[in-house]
Amino acid sequence: MKIYCDYCGTQIDTDTNITCPNCGASYANDDELKTEQKRQERELLLGDLDAKMKQLKEQEIMREFENRRKESNLAVIGKIVVGAVLACILIYVIIRVGMIVR
């Protein structure tokens, strides 16, 4: 990050210098640096929150998909059971009618 020395006005690259390269003054208490650090911390926090929200949304979508899949499976099973019951009834009726016709 680039800031300006409060004493001599020289631009300081805080990534490479721990003091002002011109006058040697410390910038540890520099308001501009503190403000930028707080901004960066906020961005990291918001980035983490965004990632967490995305993860939660994906989990919610997966749960909804799984629930719908289960409901669909139950519907198919229900149709199979109903079909089997109807087939049994039909077979019973055919047998009974066959006995009556004889």
3 within 8 A of 26, measured Cβ to Cβ: no
pLDDT at 81: 95
The yes-or-no verdict on residue 33 having pLDDT over 90 is: no
pLDDT at 87: 95
Domains of the chain, residue spans: 2-101
- The CA distance from 67 to 74, in Å, is 11
Backbone dihedral region for residue 83 (phi beyond 0: left; psi -120 to 50: alpha; all else: beta): alpha
Total-model pTM: 0.40
Instruction: Give the model confidence (pLDDT) of 43-94 as tens digits.
Output: 888 888 888 888 999 999 999 999 999 999 999 999 999 999 999 999 999 9
